[in-house]
Amino acid sequence: MQRMEALKKEISLLPFLKVEGKRKLSGHMRVSGAKNSALVLMAASLLTNEVVYLRNVPQLTDIDVMSRLLRAIGSKLSQDSNTLTLNTSELKLSSSHLPYELVHALRASFVCIGPLLARLGEVKIPLPGGCKIGTRPIDEHIQGLRALGARVQIENDYVVAKVISPQQRLTGVRIKFNCKSVGATETILMAATLAQGTTILENAAQEPEIQDLATMLNKMGAKIQGAGTSQITIEGVDRLKGCMHSVIPDRIEAGTFLIASAITRSTLTISPVIPEHLESVISKLQKCGCLIEYSDNTLSIIPRESLQAVDITTSPFPGFPTDLQAPFMALMTTVKGTSKIEETVFENRMQHVGELQRMGAKILLEGNTAFVVGGNILKATSITGGDLRSCAAMVIASLAANGTSIVQGLEHLDRGYEDLSPKLNGVGASITRSHSQVQKTSNLTTKTYEDTQNLYSDTEVA
């Protein structure tokens, strides 16, 4: 009964955003450090017993969860604004055993298996579990670790890995991934830095976050070449030292801001960015009628009033990022013509389609391909983002809608966007964040107790 009351209270306190549509934006938006880089760089600190200083770390709930996980296994962390100091000199004896609820709360934490195995010789980590944008298996991580000489078994929802060589050290080898996986490339890259001999990774993921990881590991004394290409060579070293490293700008946040500019037909400047990380997105925005100017680490975007539909197909870097598919679809609902949007990276990443349809968008969904008939004016309503990037898409769509929208699902948004509302308000948006009773009306999403429980128990992704 008490639990029921607590859940009721939790539901009534669900936060939401009130987004006034049709406002013009103008000015400069600051891009934070990349969440996906920061998370794996935090895991990489486990490879050394010296101090690692990470600058430009965004303040996000995903970073909090990773911090709690590292603390739980004995790391000492302190944070001063956007700088994180990580000291893993004294890992707890039980540090090879990661807490279930924290790994479940954040899929990205699974990459800790690589550095912990390399440093401690054994690790027991919960399976990341199911998630909302697809099955996301971990077979590539496991096969890579086995190839490096670990015995890896699944025992009662845990992955148990142990180095079996007499020297308790992984052994360098040639590994060809069956699919391009960001997480598996990161796991094996980290593990191989302390292996004996040379590891060659083929069909490696090429995302900028992997380049950032290799840059930091090389500062720590690793010998890695080729990160950013599909073949990475890692010459194992005996130990790694501490370092200071600044996280790269978040290309997905920057892309979201570019799309916010386009959907509101407003001119914005955005920095800091590394333009090469955004080439596929910039090229699509240019094709649909946005003028984009570069100057060092700043992008200026000037959209034409009348934009044209373009097709996108998501694919691993340097292709169009799956993480921007949902925001881009929101943009396509407002342009002239029909665009074909194909999701090829994850099998269940179209959850925003139904919500956009509720706003009046005309979208035909066939499997993982959406045909978006643009040109309808979106109507403000109450909408819910079911995962991080679809929640961002809900905010983007609301900026263009007629009227004031209510956006729910902020527990997802807060995982990956630092200060999104204040940043948008700083360039002229009108977004307020409130907590209040979730009402049961025809067009307002009502959370059931089960939904609420799922919100906090599902593995979070992206």
The residues annotated as belonging to the active site are 131
| Footprint (CB under 6 A) of ligand UD1, residues 108-127 | 108
Cβ at position 362, least distance to ligand UD1 in Å = 27
Phi first, then psi, for residue 217 (nearest 5°) are: -60, -40
Q: Is 408 in the site for ligand UD1 (CB under 6 A)?
A: no
The residue of the chain with the least Cβ separation from ligand UD1 equals 183
Q: Is 65 in the site for ligand UD1 (CB under 6 A)?
A: no
Cβ at position 388, least distance to ligand UD1 in Å = 8
Using the CB atoms, write b or e for 104-114: b if 16+ within 10 Å: bbbbbbbbbbb
Looking at the Cβ atoms of 16 and 346, the one nearer to ligand UD1 is 346
Q: Nearest-CA neighbor of 184 among 163, 160, 161, 205?
A: 205
Length of the chain: 462
Cβ at position 248, least distance to ligand UD1 in Å = 12
- Which one among 60, 163, 182, 278 touches ligand UD1, defined by CB under 6 A? 182
Cα–Cα distance for residue pair 60/101, rounded to 1 Å:
18
Encoded amino acid at 199, one letter: T
With contacts defined by CB under 6 A, name the span among 132-140, 163-171, 272-280, 447-455 that binds ligand UD1. Answer: 132-140
Q: Is 129 in the site for ligand UD1 (CB under 6 A)?
A: no
Looking at the Cβ atoms of 19 and 278, the one nearer to ligand UD1 is 278
Tokens of 425: 């308000």
Looking at the Cβ atoms of 148 and 427, the one nearer to ligand UD1 is 148
Cβ at position 142, least distance to ligand UD1 in Å = 7
Helix axes 325-332, 251-263, angle to 10 degrees: 10
Looking at the Cβ atoms of 144 and 149, the one nearer to ligand UD1 is 144
Site string for ligand UD1, 80-109 (x = CB under 6 A): ---------------------------xx-
Q: Is 134 in the site for ligand UD1 (CB under 6 A)?
A: yes
Q: Is 33 in the site for ligand UD1 (CB under 6 A)?
A: no
Q: Is 346 in the site for ligand UD1 (CB under 6 A)?
A: yes
Cβ at position 191, least distance to ligand UD1 in Å = 14
| Contact (Cβ atoms closer than 8 angstroms) between residue 384 and residue 393 | no
Q: Is 154 in the site for ligand UD1 (CB under 6 A)?
A: no
Cβ at position 207, least distance to ligand UD1 in Å = 6
Q: Is 139 in the site for ligand UD1 (CB under 6 A)?
A: yes
| Contact (Cβ atoms closer than 8 angstroms) between residue 281 and residue 270 | no
Looking at the Cβ atoms of 215 and 405, the one nearer to ligand UD1 is 215
Q: Is 462 in the site for ligand UD1 (CB under 6 A)?
A: yes
Tokens of 316: 């691993």
Cβ at position 240, least distance to ligand UD1 in Å = 21
User: Total residues contacting ligand UD1 (rule CB under 6 A)?
Assistant: 23
- Which one among 56, 75, 266, 322 touches ligand UD1, defined by CB under 6 A? 322
- Which one among 119, 136, 169, 284 touches ligand UD1, defined by CB under 6 A? 136
Cβ at position 136, least distance to ligand UD1 in Å = 4
Q: Nearest-CA neighbor of 88 among 63, 66, 55, 110?
A: 66
- Which one among 17, 41, 138, 152 touches ligand UD1, defined by CB under 6 A? 138
Q: Is 36 in the site for ligand UD1 (CB under 6 A)?
A: yes
- Which one among 184, 263, 278, 372 touches ligand UD1, defined by CB under 6 A? 184
- Which one among 17, 60, 123, 140 touches ligand UD1, defined by CB under 6 A? 140
3-state secondary structure the chain: CHHHHHHHHHHHCCEEEEEECCCCCCEEEECCECHHHHHHHHHHHHHCCCEEEEECCCCCHHHHHHHHHHHHCCCEEEEECCEEEEECCCCCHHHHECCHHHHHHCHHHHHHHHHHHHHHCEEEEECCCCECCCCCCCHHHHHHHHHCCEEEEEECCEEEEEECCCCCCCECCEEECCCCCHHHHHHHHHHHHCCECEEEEECCCCCHHHHHHHHHHHHCCCEEECECECCEEEECCCCCCCEEEECCECHHHHHHHHHHHHHCCCCEEEECCCHHHHHHHHHHHHHCCEEEEEECCEEEEEECCCCECCCEEECCCCCECHHHHHHHHHHHCCCECEEEEECCCCCCCCCHHHHHHHCCCEEEEECCEEEEECCCCCECCEEECCCHHHHHHHHHHHHHCECEEEEECHHHHHHHCCCHHHHHHCCCCCEEEEECCCCCCCCCCCCCHHHHHHHHHCECCC
Cβ at position 173, least distance to ligand UD1 in Å = 17
With contacts defined by CB under 6 A, name the span among 133-141, 225-233, 266-274, 363-371 that binds ligand UD1. Answer: 133-141
Q: Is 39 in the site for ligand UD1 (CB under 6 A)?
A: yes
With contacts defined by CB under 6 A, name the span among 178-186, 222-230, 253-261, 262-270 that binds ligand UD1. Answer: 178-186
Site of interaction with ligand UD1 (CB under 6 A): 36, 39, 107-108, 134, 136-141, 179, 181-184, 205, 209, 322-323, 345-346, 462
